[in-house]
Structure 1
Amino acid sequence: MPGIVIVGAQWGDEGKGKATDQLGDRVDYCVRYSGGNNAGHTIVVNDEKYVLHLLPSGILNPGVTPVLGNGVVIDLDVLYQELDDLAARGAEVQHPLVSANAHVITEYHKTIDKVTERFLGKAKLGTTGRGVGPAYGDKVNRIGIRIQDLFDESILRRKVEAALEQKNHLLVKVYNRRAIEPDEITDHLLTFADRLRPHVVDASRVINDALDNDKVVLFEGAQAHHLDVDHGTYPYVTSSNPIAAGACVGAGVGPTRIDRVVGIAKAYTTRVGSGPFVTELHDVDGEKLRTIGNEFGATTGRPRRCGWFDALVVEDAVQANAFTDVFLTKLDCLTGWEKIPVCVAYDVNGERHEVLPYSQTDIHHATPVYEFLDGWTEDISKCRTFDELPANTQAYVRRLEELIRCRISGIGVGPGREETISLHDLI
């Protein structure tokens, strides 16, 4: 039975939550393997909208065991707020299993995230201020706090004191902020220990045992390929590895356990925060896409930058992640344009590039080369098979398949769970 990885093929917000939820009734385990609560996944079930920031999207499917892997950084306040909010709305969900090796986001991580971003001024990266980057920084600097540390008070106090010894100098002397008391942080973290303890596991062992027992395991990352700290548009990236290979590191499974890699791509392109965006629109079309697609960040509420589909961006993600399938979302949002531009190449100082340039400088100077495809005016939100789509809509999908060099196996034609067209089974 398969291990399946879900990866965003652009800059996030492609609809990974919808795709993950779509597979949920056929999945036994849903594993978050990277990121923190700096990303929002929106799911619509029976006209009810749910926005999840930290919990795996599959948690809304009965029978799915949710897992937060070792590659996730966890804000415990957010974790329990999300669980309590779901319970208050009558959603019956399991408490996720939590890797003992996952790292914890503390208040000092959030403080440093915010003051650092303000200090950068015009050079700011566009972080969410949720403390995710500083928590990953502490992880690689080997001064992080792990979930398992909450169950040994003496170790936890020593680790918090050691981390704040250097951070308080930075806060006071560079940023002119007050020092943070170690006991304040430690005492707050300890309040979660009893509630958390029954759910803490060796997540790698649990996941591998599940695969050994023919269970279907869905691995879900946050953000997307082009926000990957190694493979994205650095430095305008996240602090982890949302690419498919990150599932192995962030969940503790070997690469041979992965059978399917599904890329999620929006039928146009959006981005939140700073960084290059070759097909970005600053006109009425961009505003129309933002309005029709309700393109505002699920976590921050920030308006997303909008542009036409960039085949170079998605093809690069296909190549690096070895996608077996692509799930195309929000196709319905393109209804009403007479012609729909698709970026098929970049012009960089007179030179044509048909694959994404590796040089950030080239991307910065690139202008899009568009191919104009015939649009459609029909309402496609009620279509449930590919043949029901208008001819021009079908042609748009088939042309994208050619450009990105990967089959499109699912199409989202609306936000609801049922508003989906399946071309090929993903499980």
Structure 2
Amino acid sequence: MPGTVIVGGQWGDEAKGKISSYLAVRDEPAVAVRAGLGPGAGHTVVHGGRTLKLRQLPSAVIHPGTRLLLGAGVLVRPDVLLREIEEFGARDRVGVDYRATVIDPGHVSAEAADTVLSERVRSTGSGHGPALAARAMRSARRAEDIPALAPYLADTVREVNDAVDAGDRVHVEGTNGFGLSVLYGTYPYTVGKDSTASTAAADAGLGPTAIDEVVLVFRAYPTRVGAGPFPTEMSEEEAERLGIVEYGTVTGRRRRAGTFDMDQARDAVRVNRPTRIALTFLDQVDASCRALRTGELPEAAAAFVARVEKGLGLPVDLIGTGPGTADVIERWHGQPAGTDSDMATGVGGNR
């Protein structure tokens, strides 16, 4: 049973939440771990007629049999996490690693007061950078220091490794995107930590040999929130013509949109070493493939997928065609395989 890491290949907004939720329904993992940064990264899941906007819990929350963990590498904002636990009825399924760093109100205030972060980088204002700095200086509080989190404290490293050793499926859900990595992205216009598959696994406490599958998610027309280079950016008017008018899940800011950047995607492939490529929002390329789940792609959509495959030298195995969890065409080495027709879907903006 594989350990699977799901990460983004661009600047976030790639529909990692959609792909993670699809794989959770398909694979029924025993454990799903949220990795990556913290509550400044929102994942949207559209399932069973509901739109779930998640900032702390893994997208596998839609699968009732999955244990939901926050890894030691994740920043935790207690009020956000506790609100999500109640909203999504996950009280009996959540574990928070006792070592996870807590975002305090002072970290949020410090970020707002830092003109480099608030004005130049245009960060989300979630307190990530100051919390990471406090952890580096060994002054940050950890989850074990917060009484309200006591019912949920766990040794998630032991849990995920026990699951791997037992042959159970483990999913690790990264946040942000490769282009926002503080190491490999468009520094200084990045988040405060690395956002690659290797770091996601480390956030969950898993060594490299525990990971059998890396799913790297790209979207057909990438988007970006905040400042920073965007070589293929299009005008707002062109984005509107294509129907790409979106707003950040956390910030509410309008997302900048651009065309697929093959050079940037190759860089993401080089560092993340994916075993599977997911390509989402294909219905923005060709509206006639919207919500398609099996069969052949329309000509324009098929040509776009072929171009991405040729440019990356890898097959596209998962194709997002609409907002719902089940709006995916799954292929293996380029061959249509269909999907589970019993999976529920809904409407929304995530593809």
1:187-226 paired onto structure 2 within 5 Å:
190=147, 192=148, 196-226=149-179
Q: What do the CA deviations read for 1:24-46 (whole angstroms, capped 9, x no partner)?
A: 12122110122110011011012
Q: What do the CA deviations read for 1:95-136 (whole angstroms, capped 9, x no partner)?
A: 42111110000000011011113x7675x2111111111101
1:327 equivalent in alignment to 2:235? no
Give the deviation of 1:386 after TM superposition. 4.5
| SS across alignment from 2:188 | coil
1:143-222 paired onto structure 2 within 5 Å:
143-150=139-146, 190=147, 192=148, 196-222=149-175
Q: Which residue of 1 aligns with 2:105?
A: 107
Counterpart contact for 2:319–2:329, Cα < 8 Å: yes
Give the deviation of 1:383 after TM superposition. 2.3
RMSD, aligned CA = 1.8
CA distance 1:239–1:45, change in 2 (3 Å): same
Q: Which residue of 2 aligns with 1:11?
A: 11
CA distance 1:205–1:330, change in 2 (3 Å): same
Q: Which residue of 2 aligns with 1:139?
A: 135
| SS across alignment from 1:101 | coil
User: Which of the numbers 307, 318, 341 marks the counterpart of 2:258?
Assistant: 307
| SS across alignment from 1:261 | strand
| SS across alignment from 1:281 | coil
Give the deviation of 1:286 after TM superposition. 2.2
Counterpart contact for 1:266–1:328, Cα < 8 Å: yes
* CA distance, structure 2, for counterparts of residue 382 and residue 14 of structure 1: 17
* CA distance, structure 2, for counterparts of residue 386 and residue 136 of structure 1: 46
Q: Which residue of 1 aligns with 2:94?
A: 96
| SS across alignment from 2:85 | helix
* CA distance, structure 1, for counterparts of residue 256 and residue 245 of structure 2: 11
Structure 2 letter corresponding to 1:17: G
Structure 1 letter corresponding to 2:238: D
Q: Which residue of 2 aligns with 1:158?
A: none
1:379 equivalent in alignment to 2:288? yes
1:417 equivalent in alignment to 2:338? no
As a proportion of its length, which structure holds more helix? 1
| SS across alignment from 1:54 | coil
1:335-346 paired onto structure 2 within 5 Å:
335=286
User: Which of the numbers 227, 230, 244 marks the counterpart of 1:274?
Assistant: 227
Q: Which residue of 2 aligns with 1:253?
A: 206
Counterpart contact for 1:105–1:131, Cα < 8 Å: yes
Q: Which residue of 1 aligns with 2:84?
A: 82
CA distance 1:236–1:210, change in 2 (3 Å): same
CA distance 1:101–1:121, change in 2 (3 Å): closer
* CA distance, structure 1, for counterparts of residue 222 and residue 81 of structure 2: 30
Give the deviation of 1:144 after TM superposition. 1.1
Give the deviation of 1:146 after TM superposition. 0.8
Counterpart contact for 2:280–2:321, Cα < 8 Å: yes
Q: Which residue of 2 aligns with 1:116?
A: 114
* CA distance, structure 2, for counterparts of residue 102 and residue 421 of structure 1: 36
Q: What do the CA deviations read for 1:45-93 (whole angstroms, capped 9, x no partner)?
A: 1231111011111112110111100000100000011122224xxxx66
CA distance 1:406–1:299, change in 2 (3 Å): same
TM-score (norm 1): 0.75
Q: Which residue of 2 aligns with 1:359?
A: none
Structure 1 gaps of 5+ residues are 151-189, 336-377
Q: Which residue of 2 aligns with 1:227?
A: 180
TM-score (norm 2): 0.90
User: Which of the numbers 42, 58, 81 marks the counterpart of 1:56?
Assistant: 58
| SS across alignment from 2:288 | coil
Give the deviation of 1:391 after TM superposition. 2.2
| SS across alignment from 1:142 | coil
Aligned-pair identity in percent equals 39
| SS across alignment from 1:145 | coil
For the pair shown, the structure with the greater C-alpha radius of gyration is 1
Structure 2 gaps of 5+ residues are 340-351
Counterpart contact for 2:285–2:301, Cα < 8 Å: no
Quick one: higher RCO (CA 8 Å, sep 6+), 1 or 2?
2
Q: Which residue of 1 aligns with 2:125?
A: 129
Q: What do the CA deviations read for 1:259-299 (whole angstroms, capped 9, x no partner)?
A: 0100010011110101100000125222334xx24421011
Structure 2 letter corresponding to 1:111: S
